[in-house]
């Protein structure tokens, strides 16, 4: 996460049991231009390994070049994030903006997989086996899911939060906090409507930040689905049940296997 997952934060995560950590969001263009503030984020402490470097962009060639730069920094994994809703990212066609151009997104994954030797993880909008299969078909060696695991048995969020995800539809999310520089995608409710009103009248940033203070806790701990910040991706529309994490993973990969076998069957050619 931008401005959050720096080296110190990642080391704390490792200390408390994280199996893998991710760097902040790195712009492909900024890496190529060697912008100091961006290249500094490539630094990796030996004690935080295994670590993934996360990059974003919208054009194939710059993304490939940035992937090579990131690989040279020595991470175990390269993460391609196509889910970030930040206006300055998505508005330029990168992050979640790539979901408008799936052909381009697929080309980026395919070309980066060919260009680097470390495993590539695809992230953004994946919640079922079809998304997993699509990523693997392009050469990715892993996928990153967030929203799907809100609705797993082990997740400790309030049951009301889980039910809100289950009730979500294709257009149930909204991006709040664009003007603060810390936007998040949430399920629409009274809180997101109030954020929209503040944005419409260009309210002071202090007023916007005050409205958002403590709202995630309200959703996660207290189960307030009206005024809590129900952080969720657009893939919430594909989440229909609550299962143990192990069962979710088994089903994801079972579905992906079925899809890939079907594709292989379609490609089989009778030599005669």
Annotated active-site positions, please? 84
Cβ-defined contacts of 153-158 (< 8 Å, 24+): 153/242, 153/243, 153/244, 153/245, 154/244, 154/245, 156/220, 157/219, 157/220, 158/219, 158/220, 158/221, 158/222, 158/223
Contact between 173 and 222 under an 8 Å Cβ cutoff? The reply is no
| CA distance linking residue 77 with residue 114, whole number of Å | 14
Q: Where are the beta strands (DSSP E) in the chain?
A: 21-27, 51-56, 77-81, 120-123, 142-144, 173-176, 184-187
């Amino acid at each position: 996460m931008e401005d959050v997952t720096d080296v110190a934060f990642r080391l704390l995560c490792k200390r408390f049991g994280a199996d893998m950590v991710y760097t902040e969001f790195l712009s492909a263009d900024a890496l190529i231009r060697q912008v100091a503030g961006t290249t500094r984020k490539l630094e990796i402490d030996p004690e935080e390994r295994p670590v993934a470097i996360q990059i974003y962009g919208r054009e194939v060639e710059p993304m490939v070049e940035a992937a090579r730069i990131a690989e040279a920094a020595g991470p175990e994994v390269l993460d391609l994030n196509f889910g970030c809703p930040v206006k300055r990212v998505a508005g330029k066609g990168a992050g979640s903006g790539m979901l408008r151009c799936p052909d381009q997104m697929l080309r980026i994954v395919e070309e980066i997989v060919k260009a680097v030797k470390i495993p590539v993880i695809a992230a953004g909008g994946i919640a079922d086996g079809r998304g997993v299969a699509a990523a693997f078909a392009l050469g990715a060696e892993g996928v990153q899911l967030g929203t799907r695991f809100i609705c797993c048995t082990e997740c400790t969020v309030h049951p009301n939060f889980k039910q809100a995800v289950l009730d979500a539809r294709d257009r149930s999310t909204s991006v709040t906090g664009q003007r603060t520089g810390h936007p998040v995608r949430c399920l629409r409710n009274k809180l997101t409507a109030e954020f929209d009103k503040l944005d419409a009248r260009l309210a002071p940033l202090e007023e916007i930040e005050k409205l958002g203070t403590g709202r995630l806790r309200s959703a996660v701990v207290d189960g307030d689905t009206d005024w809590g910040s129900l952080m969720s991706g657009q893939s919430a529309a594909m989440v229909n049940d609550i299962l143990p994490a192990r069962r979710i993973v088994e089903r994801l990969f079972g579905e992906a296997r079925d899809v890939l076998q079907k594709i292989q069957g379609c490609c089989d050619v009778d030599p005669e």
